[in-house]
Amino acid sequence: PNYHGYDTDFDWDRRFLFPFVTNFCLYYKFIPLTFGIVINWLILFKSPSYSKVYRRSLAFYHIVEFCFDIQLLILFVPYPLFPHPLFLCYGLICQLDGSPSLVMTLTITVAVFATNSLFLLIFVRMRTIVPEQSRFHLSTRKSVIIMGLTFVIFFVTILNFALFAHDTPKKAEMLHRPEYAWAQEVPGVLVFGEMFDLGQFN
């Protein structure tokens, strides 16, 4: 069967991709989390003679990345059914009956902080290696302004997800359709709406 030319037979996904994603997050998560702990310990206690500001920025970036790994690989464990309007959640929060829309918003929030912490790290590094007399050297004021504008731009993304990443009123109806009925067995399902229906964006 198909819907607007898109296949609605998810048998292959259910037999192969879903188990792969869940097992990948189940077993792979120990690798980045272990590395995250080791890297942060090395940065904070065994790093070479970096400046204190740069070392703190580097540690902050890796700590945020560590939090993002926890959110993505343990608390969320997402599986998008794009272009279909369903977003599946296999993570711990959804298993505890948490809201998938809240989990997605939290994931975007952590991702935004991770991105901004990377920008902050780059700015701090540039300020330490670029001579003050260079035209490319940024003053503290300019750095704060640029970082502030960057954070505001990304913060809008968080607001968009908080305001619009919610289930459609037709969620119950859609999940009772034959092509989507199996999704009721998933711990958490976020249903944006009908395919090609912009919903709240109209």
Average pLDDT of span 67-88 = 84
| Residues 54, 124: Cα–Cα separation, whole Å | 6
| Residues 162, 155: Cα–Cα separation, whole Å | 11
Nearby residues of 190 by Cβ (< 8 Å), 6 or more positions away: 86, 87, 88, 89, 100, 101, 104, 165, 167
Nearby residues of 103 by Cβ (< 8 Å), 6 or more positions away: 75, 76, 89, 91, 93, 94, 188
C-alpha separations of 19 from 15, 22, 39, 75, 82 in Å: 7, 5, 30, 17, 18
Is omega for the bond preceding 100 within 30 degrees of 0, making it cis?
no
Q: What does pLDDT average to over the chain?
A: 80
pLDDT band at 120 (very low <50, low <70, confident <90, very high): confident
Please provide residue 167's backbone torsions phi and psi, each rounded to the nearest 5 degrees. Answer: -65, 145
| Residues 193, 190: Cα–Cα separation, whole Å | 9
Burial class (CB in 10 A: 0-12, 13-18, 19+), 150: middle
User: Residue 50: pLDDT above 70?
Assistant: no
Average pLDDT of span 93-111 = 87
Can you give the pTM of this predicted structure?
0.75
| Contact between 10 and 202 (Cβ < 8 Å) | no
Determine the pLDDT at residue 8.
59
Task: Name the one residue in this structure whose structure tokens are 């700590």.
Answer: 63
pLDDT band at 201 (very low <50, low <70, confident <90, very high): very low
User: Residue 136: pLDDT above 70?
Assistant: yes
Average pLDDT of span 90-96 = 88
Determine what percent of the chain is predicted with pLDDT higher than 90: 0
